């Protein structure tokens, strides 16, 4: 996980990693005592870092967002074709969902600060704008509308735990291919050479 400055303490890191793992295994029933045991710390230490369950879950949600922002920043989206960049985004998003699905169930949909949301969306906004500028996308919808449609497809697939049914890689590939089939610009093929010759011979 990427860590911000206050969480570089290895004890806090161990607690958060343990919490993520325990949530994945036990879901909403996980207790603070079980998190402490999994992290190898006493309950007094756990409560010194996280005074209650809510503060632990909130910090874990912040960490999930920070990790996602970092992975998107490291994905090299600007250096590859739009279709490959989109595939990378899908793989990252599905992988994160698989890791933090239990957290999302417990917290429902955690509130994301505006600045965090902006950082999360900035690479996608830039990617979809580049797709429009390069003529990758269909021309009847703007890049904002296409991004909204991609996000709706992604959120729907993650909400139905497609990664659990298909696996992370197949789920990411399915999301990417389904979106690209509908969003990619359609280039009409020109007449075949033999058809052109036949027409010319008729005059």
> Domain residues of the chain, as ranges?
5-183
pLDDT tens by residue, 68-122: 999 999 999 999 999 999 999 999 999 988 777 766 655 545 567 788 889 999 9
Cα 68 to Cα 92: distance, rounded to the nearest angstrom = 7
CA atoms within 13 A on the CB side of 75: 26
CB under 8 Å to 117, separation ≥6 — which residues?
none
Q: What is the fold, at CATH topology level, of the domain defined by 5-183?
A: Tetracycline Repressor; domain 2 (1.10.357)
pTM above 0.85, yes or no: no
Q: How far apart are CA 150 and CA 55, in angstroms?
A: 32
pLDDT in tens, 155-168: 898 878 788 788 88
Please state the φ and ψ torsions of residue 59, each to the nearest 5 degrees. Answer: -65, -40
Rg value, the chain, Cα: 23
């Amino acid at each position: 996980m990427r860590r911000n400055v206050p969480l570089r303490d290895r004890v806090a890191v161990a607690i958060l990693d343990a919490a993520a793992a325990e949530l994945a295994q036990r879901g909403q029933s996980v207790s603070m005592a079980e998190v402490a045991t999994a992290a190898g710390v006493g309950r007094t230490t756990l409560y010194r870092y996280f005074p209650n369950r809510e503060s632990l879950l909130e910090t874990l949600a912040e960490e999930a967002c920070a990790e996602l922002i970092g992975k998107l920043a490291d994905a090299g989206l600007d250096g590859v074709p739009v279709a490959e960049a989109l595939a990378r985004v899908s793989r990252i998003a599905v992988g994160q969902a698989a890791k933090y699905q239990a957290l999302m169930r417990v917290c429902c949909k955690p509130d994301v600060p505006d600045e965090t949301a902006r950082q999360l969306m900035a690479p996608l906004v830039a990617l979809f704008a580049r797709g429009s500028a390069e003529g990758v996308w269909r021309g009847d919808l703007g890049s904002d509308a296409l991004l909204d449609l991609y996000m709706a497809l992604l959120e729907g697939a993650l909400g139905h735990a497609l990664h659990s049914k298909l696996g992370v890689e197949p789920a990411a590939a399915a999301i990417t291919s389904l979106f690209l089939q509908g969003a990619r610009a359609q280039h009409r093929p020109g007449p075949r050479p033999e058809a052109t010759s036949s027409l010319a011979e008729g005059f």
